[in-house]
Structures are given as C-alpha cells and as structure tokens.
Amino acid sequence: MKPDLVIRSANLPTGEEGMDIVVADGLIQVIGPNIETEGEEEIDASGCLVSPPFVDCHFHMDATLSLGLPRLNRSGTLLEGIALWGELKPLLTHEAVIDRALTYCDMAIAQGIQAIRSHVDICDDRLLGVEALLDVKARIAPWLDLQLVAFPQDGLYRSANARANLVRALDLGVDVVGGIPHFERTMAEGARSVTDLCTLAADRGLMVDMHCDESDDPMSRHIETLAFECQRLGLQGRVAGSHLTSMHSMDNYYVSKLIPLIAEAGVAAIANPLINICIQGRQDTYPKRRGHTRIEEMKAAGITVAFGQDCVMDPWYSLGSGDMLDVAHMAVHVAQRTSLDAMRDCFLSVTRFPAEVMGLSSYGLRPGAAAHLVILDAADPVEAIRLRAARLKVLRAGRVVAESPPRRSRLHIDGRPRETAFRRPAHASTGASSPWKRG
Ligand code: FE2
C-alpha cells in the first residue's frame, strides 16, 4: 500500500541533506536518503530545511492582540503593563477573549507554531480568561497543542482571592501551576509562594512554570528557592523558571553556586528575549543592562534553555507576529550567541527544547513521531534565523494546513538579474567540508 505522503530532498536541522520523509496515518514512518516508494502525495522540498514545528513555551494568550485597550503603555515597563492589564480585565468578555485568541492561533499556525504554553491570569474572580482559553484549547486542538498555566498575575498572596482562584482553575482543567514570587509584597512572601505552589503541584502530579525573578534586582533570588523545592519534592524534569532576568545582575560568585543547583534540580529555564530586552533596565541610565538571563552559562551547565515569545500586541509589547524565528533572532543578538553552533542551538530553543519543557511526547523528526512539520525557505537553521525564513508549507499530521510564498524581490536594474532571493551565495554552501554542517 502506498504511504500517504513522501517529502523529497529535505535538509534536516541535524545537517543531513537530501533526505526523504515517509508519512502514513499522520505519523513519520521512515527518514532516509533515496527511499524507493511512491506516496499518494509527493512534496519536493528541493533542499529546503524541514523541521518539526516551532513551539512557544511562554505566552499570554488572554492578553494577546489587545494593544491599545483601554490605552497604551507609556513607560514601557513591566509594572505599567501589569497596571494596564488590571484596567482591561474588568472590561473583558468571554467572546472577545476567544476571538482574539483564535485570531492569534491562526497567525501562529501560519508561522509554523504547533504548540503553545500560555499563562492565563486567575486573579479575576470570574475566571473569565480561564474558561475562554479552555474553550480555545478544545477548539484549536486538531491544529495546535495549547497547554495552560494558572498564573496569579497580581500575586498569589498580594491579590485577595488568587490562591483560591488558582485551585479553582486547576480543578477546571488548567494544566500547569504558575507563580510570580517577585511580585509578592516581600521577598519572604515570594519564597513562601514558591514553596506553597510547588507543594500544590506535587500533590496534584502537575508541572510548574513560574515567572521568576523578572526584575533588575540582583537580590531577587526566587530561582534558588524554586530549584530547592523542585529537588525536595521530587519534581525534577517538571519545573521551569521563566524569565530569570535578575540573574543578569547577580554577583558572579553567587551565580557560580546557583547554576549548578538549578542543573542538579533539573529545572529548565525559559528566556523571553523580545520582551525582556524591552522592559528590563528601564530605570538604568548608562551603562544600561540588557535584562537578559545567562543563557550561555546555563547551557554550559547542562540546563535546558528554551525561548518563549511572551507577548504579541498587548499591554507589555506592541510588536510581534507569532514568529519564533524572530524570538531566536533576538536571542542571538542580546545573548551574543553568534557562533554557528550557538545559532543552531538557538533554533533548538524554539523547537526541540520547548517541546521537552512542555512534555510533548509525540514531537520530533523520527519514525513514530507525529508528522507535524514545517518546510522553510532556508537551507539550514542558521539561514532560517537570519532570514526569519518563509514557512513554505506547514503540515499537521501529514496534511498541509498553511502555505506561504517564498520571499523574492523583483529588481528593475539594468545589467542585474531581474529577481533576487535572499538565500546565501553558493560559496557559503553546506558542502561536506562546510563548517555549517554539524560534525
Ligand atoms: Fe510572561
């Protein structure tokens, strides 16, 4: 019997070239060169990169596309963003949240994202956002895996009913326990919230993903408590610390002790480069801090580091287009991860690593994995990041769900070619001896 689909001449993120991918019943069957079988459908990838889909493991879908409602963030700070969101919350309706979320999902799917971990604010006693996003999760499930985090935006203890609301949200089916220790009233209250929330997660067998130390305060050290509680409660591999920006200002001696503790506890780190380069360091004059966590040092210690988009057109960030290559591109710059190996690793931070953080068991480019794939107008991950390459085809379970044209410009210059693409020149190709190729 013919397989449903064969993708020909694919370049893979590992550096292998000219590979065929055979798909049947929505799953990848075989990957290899020159496979002698004919598919019901054939796609010629023509040396383009074929990757598992992008995964965004840190997002706020209840706030997305609300830019300007009810006003704009004038200072650009995290704190004004939180205040502005507080003004918008009473005005939200179930339908409006669903409508914005689904519009964003369309955008994300077109950009090759097929899994999102979204925090959802539980401080509104109506739990309107929770109910709306649970609805969205069910409706979008055939095309996108949406995982929800119960997030006490205004503080677990600082906001009157947040703890009870968080438990209600988990009872309704929210997947992950969230937190925001740096926003509690005192450092001690923040630490207590970490212990409380990790215990809650352990009791319920859930994962934890906390906004942690998202500040410029070198003394904000909730990641230390998070790692400790993860270890104490046996939550290794199920806990992530999001943002971790205070780490950029911490004393180096202290960090030399902290990072091995995070690694030992199996806590993953989620950096959000687009947002934190904008909202951190706002009280600085010069030199001005980048407000970005220590990716390179954490990588060296074996910690899983994934990237998230965090915000698209909301109270905290006016830009964004659901493009995880934009996120990786910013990470390359703010973290100065410009070696070829580091750039390839940044591609994994928007694909494989966030899939690991979310625990997506059917994810990957291997026989038996779901045939969720993206064909990019690029030869390899480095070129994909450089160009924020067009997503030529997005496949979900072997079926094309989105297509985009390649980026081309028509020129009107005498003596020059009529059309230019933006792909790298031939002398920089990925030949066998090329340094672009993983050894
Ligand atoms: Fe966030």
| Ligand 1 center–CA 329 separation, angstroms | 19
| Ligand 1 center–CA 323 separation, angstroms | 16
Strands 373-376 and 49-51: antiparallel
Q: Any residues with CB less than 8 A from the CB of 165 and at least 6 apart, and which?
A: 122, 123, 124, 125, 127, 152
CA dist 38 and 47 (Å) reads 19
Q: State the catalytic residue, choosing from 17, 214, 229, 383.
A: 214
Secondary element (H or E) of residue 119: strand 113-121
Numbered ranges of CATH 2.30.40.10 in the chain: 5-52+364-428
What's residue 439's pLDDT?
Answer: 36
Q: Decide which of 1.10.530.10, 3.40.190.10, 2.30.40.10, 3.90.550.10 is the CATH code for 5-52+364-428.
A: 2.30.40.10
| Ligand 1 center–CA 213 separation, angstroms | 11
Residue type, 244: L
Considering Cα of 80, then 81, then 86, then 88, what sign does the dihedral take? positive
Numbered ranges of CATH 3.20.20.140 in the chain: 54-358
| Ligand 1 center–CA 162 separation, angstroms | 17
CA-derived radius of gyration, the chain? 22
CA dist 157 and 286 (Å) reads 35
What's residue 286's pLDDT?
Answer: 96
CA dist 198 and 91 (Å) reads 32
CA dist 66 and 83 (Å) reads 14
Residue type, 67: L
CA dist 368 and 27 (Å) reads 6
CA dist 181 and 161 (Å) reads 16
Considering Cα of 362, then 368, then 371, then 377, what sign does the dihedral take? positive
CA dist 175 and 196 (Å) reads 17
| Ligand 1 center–CA 93 separation, angstroms | 22
| Ligand 1 center–CA 311 separation, angstroms | 7
| Ligand 1 center–CA 310 separation, angstroms | 5
Return the DSSP state at 44.
E
Considering Cα of 427, then 405, then 7, then 353, what sign does the dihedral take? positive
Q: Decide which of 3.40.50.2020, 3.40.50.1820, 3.20.20.140, 3.40.640.10 is the CATH code for 54-358.
A: 3.20.20.140
| Ligand 1 center–CA 341 separation, angstroms | 28
- Residues whose CB is under 5 A from ligand 1 (ion)? 310
| Ligand 1 center–CA 7 separation, angstroms | 37
Please name every residue paired with 369 in a beta bridge, in sequence order, or none if there are none: none
Contact 350/328 with Cβ under 8 angstroms?
yes
Q: Where do the H-state alpha helices sit in 219-351?
A: 222-232, 252-265, 273-279, 295-300, 324-334, 340-348
CB-hemisphere CA count at 13 Å for 258?
A: 24
| CA distance between the termini of the chain | 37
Consecutive 10-residue runs of the chain (439 residues): their mean pLDDT?
97 96 98 97 98 98 96 90 94 97 98 98 97 98 98 97 98 98 98 98 98 96 98 98 97 97 98 96 93 96 98 96 98 96 97 98 98 97 97 98 95 90 76 44
In this prediction the pTM is 0.96
What's residue 417's pLDDT?
Answer: 85
What's residue 429's pLDDT?
Answer: 57
Q: Which two tokens stand for residue 423?
A: 């792909």
| Ligand 1 center–CA 79 separation, angstroms | 12
Examine the residue annotation and report whether 356 is marked as an active-site residue of this protein.
no
Contact 181/193 with Cβ under 8 angstroms?
yes
